[in-house]
Amino acid sequence: MTELVSRLMPLDEVAHALGVSIYSIRRFIVADVLKCVRVGGRVMVATEEVKRAQKDGVATPRLGRPPKGQAPNVSSAGRRRDRARAGCQ
């Protein structure tokens, strides 16, 4: 069990290692740039994922508004709920 926990990093450490904000890390998770695991109520990222992201580099995903003239298909509350649930197992 300790081996598994030692291989997981909390989001603040991941953000520090990649030189981005915690909010960017959450966007990477939602956009499937980083894979995460839920441990209790915490979201953790494997050190292998962080090393891969450091090696390959990460680009800021664009999750903002749809293009002009295209209506959103989900309410903002639904989008927030889906983003919160996305990515982690």
Three-state secondary structure string covering 22-83: HHHHHHHHHCCCCCEEEECCEEEEEHHHHHHHHHHCCCCCCCCCCCCCCCCCCCHHHHHHHH
- List per-block mean pLDDT (blocks of 10 residues) for the chain, which spans 89 residues: 68 90 88 87 90 79 60 54 57
Range of the domain at 25: 2-63+71-85
Percent of the chain clearing pLDDT 90 (strictly above) = 13
Note whether 59 and 18 are within 8 A (CB).
no
Question: According to the model, what pLDDT value does residue 10 have?
Answer: 93
Question: How many domains would you assign to the chain?
Answer: 1
Q: What is the CATH number of the domain that holds 57?
A: 1.10.1660
pTM of the predicted structure, to 2 decimals: 0.63
What pLDDT, on a 0 to 100 scale, did the predictor assign at position 9?
92
